[in-house]
Amino acid sequence: MPEAPTIDTGNTAWLLISSAIVLLMTPGLALFYGGLNRAKGVLNMMMMSFSAIGLVSILWLFYGFTVAFGDDKGGLIGDLGQYLGTKTFMAETDLWGETGIPLYVFLAFQMMFAIITVALISGAISDRAKFSGWLLFAFGWATLVYFPVAHWVWGGGFIGAKLGALDFAGGTAVHINAGAAALALVLVLGKRLGWPREAMKPHNVPMVALGAGLLWFGWFGFNAGSELTADSTTAIAFLNTQVCTAAAVLGWLVAEWLRDGKPTLVGASSGAIAGLVAITPACAFVAPWAAVLLGLVAGVLCALAVGLKYRLGYDDSLDVVGVHFVGGWIGCLWIGLFGTSSVSSLVSDEGLFYGGGVTQLGVQALSALIVTVYSFAIALGLGFLIEKTIGFRVSAEAEVDGIDLAEHAESGYDLSPAAGGSGGAFALAGIGTPGAAKPADEPAEPASAPVNEKVGG
């Protein structure tokens, strides 16, 4: 008789740590997005991330995990009854595959992925979305899009198991998925009042850098933790995450410096996020030198991509599309260009630059396109339905006075001991006082905004 599986304490400890630091990424995202936002909407922006932690955790426990990682049913969905949250998995045999990791640890690790994927979308719709509308959208999109797509890519579904697409830690399932949904919501909600004529610069750059640093830290759990075990693949995923991100910081800064004449901390922070996004799908499939090249390319292209919204006229507030959607596509295709079996045995078709032709590149492009179309279509439908029923966008008055006050009855910066007749606390924080008229004359926005004006993750 074969030996009964036993818990591998080393792998289990590593994945528990990885799960905790991946969860930390969502508060890091809240700081990053909050700092990039205007002062009068910082709390609402952060609330979207924190609410995702609460909502998605419960959805994932009760049915999200079984939809994503239950036994495959037709390539589209997992067994709905296999891992229901009402069941208990505590026996020594309740381990995930051959990793020696308790099922609950893997469930918790993947829960953190689901949380941050939903939270990423929020940056595109800052300053103008009702909190109730956001919660309803997050519920619907997680259920209809993220859970099934995670199955398609990682859970034995058709993208990973049948097409043979490679995505180590979430280029398609997380970043392209969230970026496509963000674009759809931007089209449903429309532009912020005054955009692009009014300058809408980050209100707290140190907060942006702190958030980016926490995201960078957490991303080691995100990428290296996705191996589930502590081995040589974990090591190269960890190293590639660092060097690609470092190169992307430099790439973004060079693009910014050449275009605008000055390098900025916001640019460095956003370059880091672009590099982290791009390396996510490829971290265990490419050599370190190719990871550095990927970082340079992603840093430059994402820096340029964030300016497309001014040319095309869509108001993606914190550049979720320019960084996550574009960066996710770059990283996904990079596997088809530089993926090699000398790094990972999972690469069955060598990348184009290793003499393998375009087979894997085509598979990567097809998988990214499928996720793009599906996520965009469902998000567009959900957003439109919410707008036509309970309403998704706040009133113009609430948007001018400040969404924090309108939606949450609080402000991020109460700087005076007592509110004066002139609204001192709100004025110091850059928040309009209730009922205040919008200035008639506002500074004109350049036709093509500089790279560093409003960038985000």
Strand, helix or coil at 73? Answer: strand
- CA 153 to the chain's CA centroid: 16
Which residue segments constitute the domains of the chain, with CATH numbers given? 9-389 (1.10.3430.10)
Backbone φ/ψ region at 80: left (φ over 0), alpha (ψ -120 to 50), beta: alpha
CB-CB contact of 137 with 393 (8 Å):
no
Q: Collect all residues with Cβ–Cβ distance below 8 Å to 304 and sequence separation of at least 6.
A: 255, 451
What's the pLDDT score for residue 4?
Answer: 61
CB-CB contact of 128 with 185 (8 Å):
no
Cα–Cα distance measured from residue 46 to residue 229, given in angstroms and rounded to the nearest whole number: 33
Which amino acid would we find at residue 363?
A: V
What's the pLDDT score for residue 364?
Answer: 97
- Is the CA virtual torsion 165, 169, 172, 177 positive or negative? positive
Cα–Cα distance measured from residue 284 to residue 344, given in angstroms and rounded to the nearest whole number: 7
The values of phi and psi at residue 201, to 5°, are -85, 160
What's the pLDDT score for residue 448?
Answer: 39
Strand, helix or coil at 78? Answer: strand
Tokens of 331: 């990283």
* pLDDT per 10-residue tile (average), the chain, 457 residues: 76 97 98 97 97 98 98 96 94 90 97 98 97 98 98 97 96 98 97 92 97 98 97 97 98 96 97 98 98 98 95 95 98 97 93 94 98 98 98 95 94 70 39 42 41 43
Q: Collect all residues with Cβ–Cβ distance below 8 Å to 207 and sequence separation of at least 6.
A: 31, 32, 34, 35
- Which among 290, 294, 282 is positioned nearest to 233, based on CA atoms? 282
Cα–Cα distance measured from residue 175 to residue 328, given in angstroms and rounded to the nearest whole number: 5
Could you tell me the end-to-end alpha-carbon distance of the chain, in angstroms, rounded to an integer? 52
Q: Collect all residues with Cβ–Cβ distance below 8 Å to 374 and sequence separation of at least 6.
A: 145, 149
What's the pLDDT score for residue 95?
Answer: 95
Residue appearing with tokens 């208990």: 88
The 8-class DSSP code of residue 91 comes to S
